[in-house]
Amino acid sequence: MRSMGHGEGFQLNLYIEKLLKDCQKGYIPNPDEATRLLQVDLDSWAFYALCATANYLTRKHFDNQAEVCAQIGLDYAPCSKSCGFCAFSKSSGVVKEAIYWDEKTLIQTAKSFAEAGANAIYLMSTANYPFSGFVSMAEAVRISIPRDIPMVANTGDLTLSQAHELKDAGFTAVYHALRLREGTDTRIPASKREETISNAKEVGLVVQVCVEPVGPEHTIEELVDLMFWGREHSVSFSGAMKRTAVPGTALAKHGEITFRELARIVAVTRLVMGDTVQAHCTHEPNLPALMAGANLIWAEAGPNPRDTEADTQYGRGQNVKHCRRILEEAGFKVRKGASIAALPSVLV
């Protein structure tokens, strides 16, 4: 395959061309084909054809609509799970003392996000945050924001009874991904993540996942395995997130992938998921991925595992206005009202 530049022009590999044309007609690439797509050169015509194919499928399947969800962290505190990518990792020592958001601040922030047009409110905590406190905070938020704005839980692993409690507290969905190298770069067995997903589904909570957090050290095989794992688990969305090299964390030494590399992963994941999903995500908000099949991004506030600021609004986090602007720059119509990806299919 010839790449762009040096006056050579363009040439699209016939194998890639046929595969992408088939995908435009609804074909789902198998693992070997997904592997081949993840190997296309970032300066080749094949890369742009891949992104264009994923972009076409997203615009068609989601009627050119996109979503801005808003996530609020509840605690800035050392966490015993010691994930190698996380600012809260107790073993890294980046976060030395605990700071907890109070109910009043949480409610004000959630209301502000809802008023700005967020399609869903996510509440996030470390695995060590008291579950009863998480439920209590959620109940306070639920009665403070419009009923048509769904809530999504991004918290630790759940028993079946805890999943019931989340649903009773007003959550309609959980974000609970099986992370890359789960159990190796984290102190969480992969089986525990899968058990939580099973419990969430059993009580009727929508499950959302993502191929994450992607770093330069991850192999194509690992990425492909996680893409198809998401498809097999019948989730409401997948997508891809690149790891942030938080200074002081165990994995920061590996650096980060570029947004172009992320776009390639987002695009292939989009082809793998086909029309089984209600949205396709990327994080952090970026234009390349939004031109490669993504249509859901997050605004953020409060403590965040990718930030050393106690409130990511003053660090890496983006607000709803900025997220809406980048979606519009990508040519999307921003959905008004509830996030479809956070609602049970019976309500869609």
Looking at domain 65-347, its CATH architecture is: Alpha-Beta Barrel (3.20)
pLDDT of residue 12: 86
Cα 179 to its chain centre, rounded Å, is 11
pLDDT of residue 14: 93
Q: What is the residue-wise DSSP string for 25-63?
A: TTPPPPHHHHHHHTTS-TTBHHHHHHHHHHHHHHHHHTT
Place of tokens 């419009």: 146
Give the pLDDT confidence of 250-305 residue by residue, as tens digits.
999 999 999 999 999 999 999 999 999 999 999 999 999 999 999 999 999 999 99
pLDDT of residue 10: 67
DSSP class of 13:
-
What are the residue boundaries of the structural domains of the chain, listed by start? 14-59, 65-347
CA–CA gap between residue 72 and residue 51 (Å, rounded): 31
> Which of 35, 36, 79 minimizes the C-alpha distance to 227?
35
Q: Which tokens hold the place of 256?
A: 């980060």
CA–CA gap between residue 125 and residue 13 (Å, rounded): 46
Where does the chain have alpha helices with state H? 14-24, 31-37, 45-61, 103-115, 131-142, 160-169, 190-202, 220-232, 259-273, 287-290, 320-329
Give the pLDDT confidence of 125-147 residue by residue, as tens digits.
999 999 999 999 999 999 999 99
pTM of the model: 0.95
Burial per residue of 29-59, b for 16 or more beta-carbon CB atoms within 10 angstroms, e otherwise: beeebbbbbbebeeebbbbbbbbbbbbebbb
With a CB cutoff of 8 Å and minimum separation 6, the contacts of 30 are: none
CA–CA gap between residue 241 and residue 289 (Å, rounded): 10
